[in-house]
Amino acid sequence: MKAKHGTELSKLGIFTDTQLDKLFELSIVTAEEFVATAFSEQEALAKYLGLPEEEVAHLRKRVTACLPPEIAKEIQTPVKEQYSLGALDPRRGRKKQ
């Protein structure tokens, strides 16, 4: 699978072919996508890849080191909850009609 915009995982030399195949199944093809996913969903990603969480954390650190610092920082910064597409904030409840 060709990388979108970003740093292609396959060119980093960090992952095995099997790991790359599994990541591609999730449409994770760039270093930026891997770091963001490993940061926000480390446990699930580790389970999917069949690796201990510590190994995924180690891979995330190695991949992060390949990115420009400003990009690495931005993709590892949590985003505030957003409600788009007309969804109501569940904490506010429904308006009475």
Each of the 97 residues of the chain gets a pLDDT tens digit; together they read 454 688 899 999 999 999 999 999 999 999 999 999 999 899 999 999 999 999 999 999 999 999 988 888 888 777 666 655 666 666 666 555 5
24 CB neighbour count, 10 Å cutoff = 13
Largest Cα span, the chain: 59
Number of domains in the chain: 1
Residue 89 placed within a domain: no
pTM for this prediction: 0.74
First to last CA, the chain: 50
pLDDT of residue 3: 46
Q: How far apart are CA 28 and CA 54, in angstroms?
A: 19
Domain that holds residue 24: 9-75
Torsion over CA: 19, 20, 25, 26 (sign): positive
Residue 22 placed within a domain: yes
